[in-house]
Amino acid sequence: MPSAANQTLVPAGMPFRPAERMMPWLRLGAGIAVILMVMFGIGPLLLHLTWYKEMSRFIEAEGIRSTAIYYTDLETFSNAEFALRQNLEYGPEIRPK
C-alpha cells in the first residue's frame, strides 16, 4: 500500500520506482566520471609515451594552439606566413646547392 506522500508524487496507476527515476542521473554521473577519467587518468598516462611526451612539452613551450580549426585561429600561422613572405619577397638571392 503506497504511503500518502508517494500518492502525491506518482501518477495514478504508475508504480513508484525511485531507482528507475534515478537512472538518468546515475548515467549522467557515470558519463562525467568517464570524462574525468579520460582527462586526468588515461590522457596523462598516454603522455608518458615518448613521442607524445615530447610533443606535449613542445606545444607547451611554444604556446601553440594545437586545437585550432582554421588558420586565423592561431598566431603561429600568421608568423610563419609573414616570415615566408619576407624571405621570398625581400630575402637575398640564394641559389639551390
Residue with cell 610563419: 80
Instruction: Output the smallest distance, CB 18 to other proteins, in A.
Output: 16
Q: Which is nearer to other proteins, 2 or 31 (CB)?
A: 31
Determine which residue in the list 5, 27, 37, 48 makes contact with other proteins, applying CB under 8 A. Answer: 27
Residues 6+ positions from 66 with CB-CB distance below 8 Å? 59
How many other C-beta atoms are found inside a 10 Å radius of the C-beta of residue 89?
7
Q: Does residue 81 bind other proteins (CB under 8 A)?
A: yes
Return d(Cα 46, Cα 87) in angstroms, integer. 39
Contact footprint for other proteins (CB under 8 A): 24-25, 27-28, 31-32, 35, 39-40, 43-44, 47, 51-52, 54-56, 58-74, 76-88, 90-97
